[in-house]
Structure formats: C-alpha cells, structure tokens
C-alpha cells in the first residue's frame, strides 16, 4: 500500500494526566518540529497531542488546495479531542502554529495558550501580486535555515519551498488572527528569539500589545533560529512553558 506521510513527520499522541497540551506546527512544517517539546511535556506526566495541519507532511501539491480555515478547523478538532480526556487544555504553536494558537485562545475552549516565533503579518512587498504570480510561479524558494543546531537542522522535516497560493492563505489567517487578539482573556505566553531570521523579533511586541488578556508574559531568547523547538535554546523555551503553565493553571 502506498503511504502518504513523510517519514518521521507523523502526528503523535502521548497519554498522560488530566492536563492536555495541543502542539501545532508551522507553515510548510510537520509535527516533527514539535516532537521534542511533546516528549519533554510527556516526561512531566502530561497528555500531549501533536496534530498535522491539512496539506502538510504529505506532498506539497496537497498544501496548495488548503485554505486557512482548514488549518483552524484542525486545531479546533485537536482541542475537542483533548477536551474529551483532559479537564485542562493548553495550546502551543510554532510560527504559523503560534498564530493558530492565538486564534484558538480567542475562539475555542482553552485554559492557556503559547505562541513561539509567531508572525504578526506577512511583511512582503510582493503580497498584492501573489495571486497572478501564483499562476506562473506556483512555488517560491526558501532561504537557508537559521537553525544553529546542525544535527536538528539536517533532520528537519518540511517542504523545501513555499506554495505561492498558500502564502495568500497565511496572510488571510494572520489578518483573522489580528482581529481576535483583543478578545483573548486566558493566560498567554509569547516566546521569540532575537536571532530569528525568518520572523523578526519585532513581531513579539506587536502581539503583546494587541492581546487583550491581563495575564500575558513574553520571553526573549538570544541565539536560536526560527524553529526554537529544535534549536540550541529549546530547553530554555520548554522550561519557560512548563513554568508558565504551573503558574497560571491551578
């Protein structure tokens, strides 16, 4: 039988206690980039669900057919699944997954939410022209990885290019995210690295200023690249998440 999922990029579930974590990967990424965090939280005894966003971790052609509502619906499914077995649920998202975590914080039944390396907007002058560009250039090349951990960078599972049409959907998602931020009332943790070359550190404060919750914390890392969950300061980020959840969830 033909398989569709990339090797090492499968969604995952670690059964644990009554505190559930929903882990959401990034744009063109896979559940693998959240797995080390999942294993860390699982070792603490928690229940962890690492979802696969529609169109990801299979074939890049699949991603071109998806819209941002498909990704948000997958997150809503994940929340519902964890709610069926856990009394407390926390979302943790990386990059675009961080934006989806904030959408979930405003709209779904969560007790706390975390966003790591989240983009606030698509800051690209080509954005208004992407639809016609996508007809003649369906894919756009990525820059080189900024991950400092060479072993993790070599094993990183993702698509090697960006589907042009999907960037339009990312922009639509981020517009929807920005509208929801003032309505977030649950505790929020924001993590970002000053060395992030994909989503600059300025995005951290843009989120922080707009989030409505009076319980919001930001953590700035010094050396990591964009994929914090696989880079050299990941243990610092993991500990910050653990400390945050212990503080805000009784």
Say whether 226 is catalytic: yes
The helix/strand/coil state of 218 is strand
* CA angle (97 as vertex; 193, 124 as ends), nearest 5: 70
Contact 94, 21 (CB under 8 A): no
Instruction: Please give the Cα distance from 115 to 93 (Å, whole number).
Output: 5
Contact 95, 199 (CB under 8 A): yes
196, 213, 224, 231: which is the annotated catalytic residue? 196
91, 95, 117, 193: which is the annotated catalytic residue? 95
42, 46, 226, 231: which is the annotated catalytic residue? 226
Say whether 95 is catalytic: yes
Say whether 18 is catalytic: no
- Ranges of beta strands (E only) in 127-226 are 139-141, 161-163, 188-193, 216-221
Instruction: Please give the Cα distance from 60 to 125 (Å, whole number).
Output: 24
Instruction: Please give the Cα distance from 102 to 105 (Å, whole number).
Output: 5
3-state helix, strand, coil in the chain (%, to 5): 45, 15, 40
Q: Tokens 């819209």 — which residue?
A: 67
DSSP H or E run through 151: helix 150-155
The residues that are catalytic are 95, 196, 226
């Amino acid at each position: 039988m033909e398989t569709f999922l990339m090797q090492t990029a499968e969604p995952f579930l670690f059964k644990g206690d009554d505190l559930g974590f929903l882990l959401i990967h990034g744009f063109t990424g896979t559940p693998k980039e959240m797995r080390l965090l999942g294993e860390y939280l699982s070792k603490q005894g928690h229940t962890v669900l690492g979802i696969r966003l529609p169109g990801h971790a299979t074939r890049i052609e699949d991603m071109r057919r998806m819209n941002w509502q498909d990704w948000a619906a997958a997150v809503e499914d994940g929340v519902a699944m964890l709610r069926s077995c856990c009394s407390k649920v926390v979302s943790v998202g990386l990059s675009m997954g961080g934006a989806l975590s904030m959408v979930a914080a405003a709209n779904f039944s969560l007790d706390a939410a975390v966003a790591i390396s989240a983009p606030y907007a698509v800051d690209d002058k080509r954005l208004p022209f992407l639809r016609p560009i996508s007809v003649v250039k369906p894919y756009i090349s990525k820059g080189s990885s900024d991950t400092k951990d060479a072993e993790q960078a070599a094993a990183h599972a993702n698509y090697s290019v960006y589907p042009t049409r999907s960037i339009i959907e990312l922009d639509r998602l981020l517009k929807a995210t920005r509208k929801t931020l003032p309505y977030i009332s649950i505790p929020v943790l924001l993590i970002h690295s000053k060395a992030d070359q994909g989503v600059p550190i300025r995005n951290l404060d843009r989120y922080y200023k707009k989030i409505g919750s009076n319980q919001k914390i930001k953590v700035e890392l010094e050396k990591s690249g964009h994929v914090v969950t696989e880079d050299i300061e990941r243990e610092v980020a993991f500990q910050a998440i653990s400390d945050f959840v212990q503080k805000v969830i009784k």
